[in-house]
Structure 1
Amino acid sequence: MISSWRRKRASRGAAGGDQGGGKRKPTELIVPNHFRCPISLDLMKDPVTLSTGISYDRENIEKWIEAGNVTCPMTNQVLRTLEPIPNHTIRRMIQDWCVENRSQGIERIPTPRIPISSDEVGTISERISMSRTPQECKDLVGKVSKALKESERNKRCIVGNGASKALSLAFQAFADSEGETVISLLEEIMSILTSITPLESQALVSLKTPNSLGRLVWFLRRGGLSGIRNAVMILKELVSSSKDHEKVIESLVTMEGAMEGLVKLIKEPICPASTKASLVVIYHMIISSHDFSSKNVIIERFIDMGLVSLVLDTLVDAEKSVCEKALGVLDGLCRSDKGREAAYTQALAIPVVVKKILRISELATEFSVSILYRLCENEDREDGGVIVEALQVGAFQKLLLILQVGWNINERVKEKVTKLLKLLNLFRDKLECIESMDFKDLKRPF
């Protein structure tokens, strides 16, 4: 918004000008100085006052404070508090001035919503932690949810003042309870938690408890679409955290319906976010540092649920992020004999995996090379079945390009590429089908 407005009386000018026959000068409207923000010099829409007594527009002064400044821009005095106070008097004066000058094209500024303060967040969080009934807790959680939806500023305030810890404690406290009010409360808590990720460590501790995990799995199996989505998003947070994630995985493996619920999300996707979250949880379950026999049991259970086929179907037209995670899961499944056997039976396996090399991302290429290496290295047919199929869909050329173009991959992957080329070279007298279009978008990394 500019500091002054010029309005020409065009209609009178078009009608013949003023009575004196001369052209009328454009009128100029001056904004009073005390209505302007000292930072932007624009008319204040939401005036607030700092502890120094100077008023600013809320948006401008909050940007100043968020940049790490602790002084008043005008006086350079250190602020006693970083919470600006709404200046209702100035705001009403500005609104009255706008109304008085509406004939000049000035629109009245709307009365702004007062954002939630740190003290309010702290008070609500404390009351949530002390709630004794689901309805009492639900009313308080509703206030947090409402404030969260109003503005990004509110979201930052809620995140920065430890609300996730109180919400997670409430989830843990009511996880074993039953009833419609409880389910509604837990759903709202999950919805808030998924919107303020990453969660702080103390919040994760409450969500990793057996009763909290049990309720998350319950939502994964029996919840509505939003409940399923939020539950799997929180599970992704839990298994992705570096601390105690092994215990979370151990609990999920033993909980009835947990693995089935995750696979169902791949089979019947709700949205890309839930599909990615499910793939991340499955990936961590497959590669977790359990003993080898336990890991094989987990992989075999996923294979028996048809996960190899589902992942390959997902890979056909998946977007980049989903593709990377799906390839990671497939690579994990192919670590076991049963996983490779399942992949050998899938007609899509080799064509899809080779297709993803050099086409999606460096991470996708690394996973694809690893999958291809696992499948070709363990091929025991005399006619080279899988190896010949890889040659037919252009694997040799793509692998050679990885080395020749200088694709940015680590030495471990380059070693697999070299070994694969040697394996493929043994069967190069077989028919090769090269799809030149695979390389049309390839760019050199230098």
Structure 2
Amino acid sequence: MVFSWIRKKAADDQEKLKKGDELVIPNQFVCPISLDLMKDPVSLSSGITYDRDSIESWLDGGNFTCPIGVSRIGATASNESRHRRVPVSGIQVSELLFILEDSVESLNGRRCLELVQKVKKWGSESERNRICVVANGAITVFSAAFDAFARDDSFETNANLLEEMLSNMNWMFPLSQLHSLDHHTEAAQARLGSQDSLRCLVWLLKCGDLSAKKDSMIALKELVSSDQKHAEALAAIEEASEVLFRLVKEPVCPAITRSSLMVIFHLVSSPSSSTSMAIRSELVKMGLVSLLLELTVDSERSTSETALGVFDMLCDCEDGKEEAYRNALTFPVLVKKILRVSELATQFSVSAIWKLGRHEKEREKVNIFLAEALQVGIFQKLVLLLQLGCGSVTKEKATELLKTMNPCRPELECVDSVDFKNLKRSF
């Protein structure tokens, strides 16, 4: 009896809902183009509001007037403080960049700052705006402007403008995304990689605030990773290596530390033997070898990989090897990182050990090194590495190390079984 009453009440409620008025969307919330409820409303300069997807499709179709009215899109909306702006058009970007170029030629810093801040505002509004700005060659104009104002030795005068331009260029990176605009890529690299621009970037790393340091480091990392000639040009800048070393020794934030190590890696791996050897010796004298080992002990994966890569490169020079032999952390850290961090970290660790084991001029030190390496379990690590599989170059180095160490293996060797947990064979 009770259940039948409940079913009858539910049926009556459904009947009332059917008879009731349906939900009506107010006209103010309906997009005039799609006639649907607006999910992401934006306001044109005419004051009429549209759904973002609908008005973007309208603009992509080559239309430059308001769909309802006849006014041309481009003026500032009167209710901008309450509505999000419609996406910027390519014509607007081109016009602004043209004005910016004229202002750069006359070195009108105040006008340039206003234009740069306007582009920054566009980029903060939507990802579509950023794509539009990049597609119209903004990186070329900005890099040329940065180079022009960086020619003044008194960077403090234009510090605010230079920092604003760097902040904008950072979301225009990487330059590789401009593969369809090769002329923009080459021009931007040439301007941003000039001696004046590089000196300014180093100065910002040294004297700028945290934001300026981050932006400068991103720009440097983009340059040296895109072309090795920029790494060689940076190595020729006075105080460049010292500033980078200080950012690793006195960490400001993890991102800057990782980027500093990456830039240093490109500096020490330069194909030019004279440049790379000079920068390696300079960094070794500063104490980078010991600093890298201490940093690698308990750092996260990407930092460990880059630090081991730099350490491996420093082992190519005699000074680097001597410092590595003198440091008590060298062999425990290198052996510990094999099969513990990543495949790349394993490659760098094996390569560094292989280089340290081939110092023909110091056979006594090499023998001591091999004995220490055996005591921390390198033999088992290398055997397991060959069983699991690795790259051909790493395999050759590991095999050569095993042949070298096999005759002098002690009866008892130490190995941490934790290193072998969760390991799988790679095919």
User: Which of 76, 85, 92 is the equivalent residue of 1:113?
Assistant: 85
Q: Structure 1 residue 318 and structure 2 residue 281: aligned?
A: no
Deviation per CA, 1:343-388: give whole Å up to 9, x if none.
Answer: 1111111111111111222111111110111112326227922112
Query: Separation in 2 of the partners of 1:264 and 1:119?
Result: 45
Provide the secondary structure at the position in 2 that maps to 1:145: helix
Query: Separation in 2 of the partners of 1:428 and 1:444?
Result: 26
Structure 2 vs 1, CA of residues 83 and 168 (structure 1 numbering), >3 Å: closer, same or farther? farther
Structure 2 vs 1, CA of residues 350 and 21 (structure 1 numbering), >3 Å: closer, same or farther? closer
Deviation per CA, 1:378-437: give whole Å up to 9, x if none.
Answer: 262279221122222221112111211224x2x121100101111222222254111001
Hey, what does 1:221 align to over in structure 2? 206
Query: Separation in 2 of the partners of 1:357 and 1:88?
Result: 67
Query: Separation in 1 of the partners of 2:294 and 2:257?
Result: 13
- Residue 255 of structure 1 and its aligned partner are, at CA, apart by 2.0
Query: Separation in 2 of the partners of 1:84 and 1:57?
Result: 16
Hey, what does 2:368 align to over in structure 1? 385
Provide the secondary structure at the position in 1 that maps to 2:22: strand
Q: Structure 1 residue 275 and structure 2 residue 275: aligned?
A: no
- Contact kept, 8 Å, 2:325 with 2:365, in 1: the verdict is no
AA aligned opposite 2:161: L
Q: Structure 1 residue 172 and structure 2 residue 164: aligned?
A: no
Hey, what does 1:129 align to over in structure 2? 101
**Structure 1: segments with no counterpart, 5+ residues:** 1-15, 50-54, 66-71, 73-78, 90-109
Hey, what does 1:8 align to over in structure 2? none
Provide the secondary structure at the position in 2 that maps to 1:213: helix
Hey, what does 2:3 align to over in structure 1? none
Query: Separation in 2 of the partners of 1:430 and 1:196?
Result: 59
Query: Separation in 2 of the partners of 1:261 and 1:380?
Result: 36
Hey, what does 2:134 align to over in structure 1? 159
Residue pairs, 1:288-307, within 5 angstroms: 288-291=270-273, 293-307=274-288
Hey, what does 1:101 align to over in structure 2? none
Q: Structure 1 residue 263 and structure 2 residue 258: aligned?
A: no
User: Which of 369, 375, 378 is the equivalent residue of 1:395?
Assistant: 378
Q: Structure 1 residue 206 and structure 2 residue 191: aligned?
A: yes
- Residue 176 of structure 1 and its aligned partner are, at CA, apart by 2.4
Q: Which moved more, 1:334-343 or 1:429-438?
A: 429-438
Deviation per CA, 1:165-220: give whole Å up to 9, x if none.
Answer: 11111101111234755110001111111222113332111111121112112112
Query: Separation in 2 of the partners of 1:294 and 1:179?
Result: 27
Query: Separation in 2 of the partners of 1:250 and 1:196?
Result: 24
Query: Separation in 1 of the partners of 2:127 and 2:169?
Result: 15
Provide the secondary structure at the position in 2 that maps to 1:377: coil
- Residue 229 of structure 1 and its aligned partner are, at CA, apart by 2.1
Deviation per CA, 1:106-147: give whole Å up to 9, x if none.
Answer: xxxx73322222212111111111113111100100111122
Structure 2 vs 1, CA of residues 428 and 257 (structure 1 numbering), >3 Å: closer, same or farther? same
Q: Structure 1 residue 24 and structure 2 residue 6: aligned?
A: no
Structure 2 vs 1, CA of residues 219 and 27 (structure 1 numbering), >3 Å: closer, same or farther? same
Hey, what does 1:9 align to over in structure 2? none
Q: TM-score, normalised by structure 2?
A: 0.81
Hey, what does 1:94 align to over in structure 2? none
- Residue 337 of structure 1 and its aligned partner are, at CA, apart by 1.3
Q: Which moved more, 1:377-386 or 1:271-280?
A: 377-386
- Contact kept, 8 Å, 2:267 with 2:279, in 1: the verdict is yes
Query: Separation in 2 of the partners of 1:207 and 1:30?
Result: 57
- CA-based RMSD: 3.2
Q: Which moved more, 1:332-341 or 1:150-159?
A: 150-159
Hey, what does 1:187 align to over in structure 2? 163
Query: Separation in 1 of the partners of 2:385 and 2:13?
Result: 81
Runs of 4+ that moved beyond 4 A: 20-23, 30-34, 36-42, 82-89
Q: Which moved more, 1:364-373 or 1:180-189?
A: 180-189
User: Which of 269, 278, 281 is the equivalent residue of 1:287?
Assistant: 269
AA aligned opposite 1:46: P
Query: Separation in 1 of the partners of 2:101 and 2:110?
Result: 13
Hey, what does 2:234 align to over in structure 1? 252
Query: Separation in 1 of the partners of 2:365 and 2:202?
Result: 46
Provide the secondary structure at the position in 2 that maps to 1:441: coil
AA aligned opposite 2:125: E
- Residue 311 of structure 1 and its aligned partner are, at CA, apart by 1.1
Provide the secondary structure at the position in 2 that maps to 1:381: helix
Query: Separation in 1 of the partners of 2:389 and 2:278?
Result: 39
Q: Structure 1 residue 35 and structure 2 residue 58: aligned?
A: no
What is the total number of aligned residue pairs between the two structures? 384
Query: Separation in 1 of the partners of 2:16 and 2:223?
Result: 71
Greater fraction of residues in helix: 2
Q: Structure 1 residue 58 and structure 2 residue 33: aligned?
A: no
Structure 2 vs 1, CA of residues 38 and 127 (structure 1 numbering), >3 Å: closer, same or farther? closer
Query: Separation in 2 of the partners of 1:209 and 1:141?
Result: 21
Query: Separation in 1 of the partners of 2:248 and 2:141?
Result: 32
- Residue 41 of structure 1 and its aligned partner are, at CA, apart by 6.0
Q: Which moved more, 1:115-124 or 1:140-149?
A: 115-124
